[in-house]
Structure 1
Amino acid sequence: MKGETVERRRIVLLGATGYTGQRVLRELLARGEEPTLVGRNHTRMAALANSFEANIPVAQVDITSTADLARLQEPSDVVISTVGPFMQLGLATVTAAVQAGAHYFDSTGEGTFVRHVFELDSVATARGATVVPAFGYDYVPGNLAGALALTSAGDRATRTEIGYFVRYGRPPRSLHPSCGRRRRGPHWPGCPSGSPDRTVSRTATAVRWSSPSPATTPVGHWPRRPLPDLIPMR
């Protein structure tokens, strides 16, 4: 609405010294934001802020401690986490954000972690928290494809299903999609024994067409059985 002011919220960025975190920080600073950097190493975060010539707050916190992170976060905060592997290092952050009623985003590609986040839904709803996991290149393309498919189908669509297909093999110099570490042997370091080598290859989106009364389900549901009446969106 014209003349309405938008509330400026504090942005809390975890993992800023990593590759993805630095890219996020660069974009935030380019847009005039002044995020608070949170992590385990104050010296590295301060050096990073200086390299961007940015006078921004830095907070050294044990990122595996829900209690420490909860004391830092406030209900109006926007929390962005790029710290991985998420099952090892990210659980405390999302739990603290939910408990604080903050707004949470992360860049995970770990399905197990995403399922854990979904289990926090009832608490997030009660606390007024907004939680958006996997907001990175792994899953956003599929969500965007689903949104485009629903927009194109209009009222004729009642459900959209997105499948992330996995190609098994041993590609050279590849990264494990769950653990985020470079492969050094038959298995991935830090991952369960016997985890197969794999890379995510393609994303497929399809829309189910049926009666005029739509009842669209959330984007991102895995198709667990063959759906012959689905029309692939290319």
Structure 2
Amino acid sequence: MQNVSAPSVGRPRSGARRLPSASARDEILDAAAELFAQRGYAATSTRLIAERVGIRQASLYYHFANKEQILAELLEATVRPSLEYAATLADAEPVEALHALVVFDVGVLLDTRWNVGILYALPEIATAPFARFREERQRLRYAYRKLVVKCDHPEILADLVFGLVESVIGMRRDLDALPGTEILQQTVAAAALRLIDRTPSGPPSSRNLSGRKVREEQHR
């Protein structure tokens, strides 16, 4: 009896692959991030995302149930690494830990291939599909609050630091050219400490590393 293989999902992709070494799921996320950031979330359909990858919609739905799920995963990827890194700073001196977290967090926001952070303000983010993203972003905000100690109105100052970190999203959107990642990391971190009127007593080993470099070290 002749063996009949199961049908593949969709059709062979058209054209060259976006990210030759990546999985199909990652290629979909990459295409969606580009379209969401450049065209806007509302103006981007799953059909358009699939076309950008070079696959059919059926193939996209094999990996993601809908457009909301794609955006949720992209947004969570902008906060989860920093949240995990914050947990490693539990035993560090607060000012040193704050400096290190700012450096790392700015690196995460700048190292993403597409500026997904500009989508934080979408009204859709307040809906149910994005509940986990909102929860994780709030947990990251609380991580900053824990590190702003012995200050007047520490919660307000911590939220100002949090906003200062996320200001690089707007800089990335609005400026034709940005200084290097490490320059921005150090500048924002120094500004954060001035904001709370503190200075570090000694550099942690991660201070001069970009978010990407620290993440590489963590996964070795």
Common topology (TM > 0.5): no
Q: Higher strand fraction: Structure 1 or Structure 2?
A: 1
By relative contact order (CA 8 Å, sep 6+), the higher-ranking structure is 2
Scaled by the length of structure 1, what TM-score is found? 0.29
Scaled by the length of structure 2, what TM-score is found? 0.30
Q: Higher helix fraction: Structure 1 or Structure 2?
A: 2
